[in-house]
A and B are shown apart, each in its own frame.
Chain A
């Protein structure tokens, strides 16, 4: 029996005319969010034979996740999603894959996690995290394939920094809850709308118990409802019920595994294509020629926006054009915020670095790590670590440049 088995478990995909398994096995992909779409994407990439995955998710597994997040089981409820996902993927789908997991919010993971990957997959469930990943992708010039779902709808957006529109182009309006969250007056003043009573109730809950309410706790929901109805009564609004509060405050968008599977299937496929484009020169000569031909004849392309509607069964694609004045990927922003990598001898002094990077103005230059001044005569290794980012400012003008320090080996 074993003699009849193909030599590789990737045999069927290797038979594709445009394929290089080695490119996939050498690749590293960061998956931000391991929920409904993220766990599907992680599973797909593991089965494809990806070399390394970095999984980031600060959330814990909830009972209501189990209808669609196939990496998790009932006994995992309460555990960290990223940790369980790592274990399950290695156990069930690919024991050879390297996986690093970060059970933390995206803003707190080391920046090298973003820097060392080839592609970033955005599978998060909120506007602010999505904007953060977008800014990182643009700053590090890494392709980002972002996905989102809501009930019967799914969308996938391909961000090729400075070539296609990013997620901040044309100032997308943040969802209502983000707008309310960023308006502190809503929390302290009189509720201008009925929904504000729910927000004030959440604020009261947080200050009274110093924690977030638990979706699964009947007691927490009752307390919240009482707080909200106290305001509703005082300001002449109709009362809330617990189900309504749950939707208003905890933003549980409706989710279907079928929509998640289609959306993350599209996302995984586009990640694969983006990877092939990134590593185009690694293909064998003939394969590269074939790929170039397909690209030239528009038979290989990554649309910048896919929208899937499960209600009509349609997948529509759109080409999104960058906004020249975008605050994240617009040229003026790029010029002022891009970090330039500079290789330095860690035993040298900052003076040498200033002379190297600002040859004509080195005497009028000061360096900062965050808000800490870097002394001209200081030894670099005493103040900085490999990969640190510093700012050089001119003492005579407004110019600033940003450097990423790379230690010479």
Chain B
């Protein structure tokens, strides 16, 4: 992830004043649909970036194409793509669960 990926939006609530500074932490993406010995991939993400950026990192880690809608769960909360990652209190080595998103048929 490069510097230009960091989005600064002063109107987003909960953003720390220094959130324009890139701060990389290691997280573990877990895709529970894969066999247990293959379902975790580690990746560095910018904690001051958005959930949307983390979703893209998850796609990258597991080669999930953009046309497949996915969401991330952290400690039982579905993460809103437009929120700042720091608002979820994610720490080093946190597990972010990948789930299919927008399943809507009936």
Provide the residues of chain B in CB contact with A124, threshold 8 Å: 106
- Which positions 103-134 of chain A face chain B at CB distance < 8 Å? 123-127, 130
Which one of A31-39, A225-233, A279-287 is at the B interface? A31-39
Cβ of A82 within 8 Å of any chain B Cβ, yes or no, is no
Of the listed residues A124, A153, A311, the one surrounded by the most CB atoms of chain B closer than 10 A to its CB is A153
Cβ of A170 within 8 Å of any chain B Cβ, yes or no, is yes
Given A307-B99, A307-B100, A316-B32: A255 touches B105 (CB 8 Å cut-off): yes
Against A, the Cβ 8 Å flags (1 = close, 0 = not) of B25-38 are 00000001110000
| CB–CB A153/B104 < 8 A | no
| CB–CB A320/B104 < 8 A | no
Given A171-B80, A172-B78, A321-B76: A150 touches B104 (CB 8 Å cut-off): yes
| CB–CB B104/A309 < 8 A | no
| CB–CB A37/B75 < 8 A | no
Provide the residues of chain B in CB contact with A125, threshold 8 Å: 104-106
Question: In the complex, A255→B103 CA distance in Å?
Answer: 11
| CB–CB A312/B106 < 8 A | no
Query: What's the interface size class on B, roughly?
Result: 20 to 34
Cβ of A188 within 8 Å of any chain B Cβ, yes or no, is no
Provide the residues of chain B in CB contact with A323, threshold 8 Å: 77
Provide the residues of chain A in CB contact with B102, threshold 8 Å: 150, 173, 175
| CB–CB B103/A35 < 8 A | no
- Which positions 369-388 of chain A face chain B at CB distance < 8 Å? none
Given A125-B106, A154-B103, A318-B97: A165 touches B76 (CB 8 Å cut-off): yes
Question: In the complex, A171→B77 CA distance in Å?
Answer: 11
Count of A-B contacts judged by CB separation below 8 Å:
85
Cβ of B73 within 8 Å of any chain A Cβ, yes or no, is yes
Cβ of A334 within 8 Å of any chain B Cβ, yes or no, is no
Dominant SS among interface residues on chain B: loop
- Which positions 47-99 of chain B face chain A at CB distance < 8 Å? 71, 73, 75-81, 97, 99
Given A155-B100, A165-B78, A321-B76: A35 touches B33 (CB 8 Å cut-off): no
Provide the residues of chain B in CB contact with A307, threshold 8 Å: 32-33, 99-100
Question: In the complex, A147→B76 CA distance in Å?
Answer: 18
| CB–CB A37/B106 < 8 A | yes
Against B, the Cβ 8 Å flags (1 = close, 0 = not) of A138-170 are 000000000111100111000000000100011
Provide the residues of chain A in CB contact with B103, threshold 8 Å: 148-150, 153-155
Question: In the complex, A125→B97 CA distance in Å?
Answer: 25
Provide the residues of chain B in CB contact with A217, threshold 8 Å: none
What are 27 residue pairs bridging A and B, where the CB atoms are less than 8 Å apart in the complex? Answer: A38-B106, A148-B103, A148-B106, A149-B105, A150-B100, A150-B104, A150-B105, A153-B103, A155-B103, A165-B76, A169-B77, A169-B78, A170-B78, A170-B79, A172-B71, A172-B78, A172-B101, A173-B101, A253-B104, A255-B105, A311-B33, A316-B32, A316-B33, A316-B99, A318-B99, A320-B76, A321-B76
The 9 A-B pairs at the shortest CB distance, nearest first, are namely: A321-B76, A125-B106, A253-B105, A316-B32, A150-B103, A148-B103, A170-B78, A33-B106, A149-B105
| Partner-B contacts on A (CB < 8 A) | 33, 35-38, 123-127, 130, 147-150, 153-155, 165, 169-173, 175, 253-255, 304-305, 307, 309, 311-312, 314, 316, 318-321, 323
| Partner-A contacts on B (CB < 8 A) | 32-34, 71, 73, 75-81, 97, 99-106
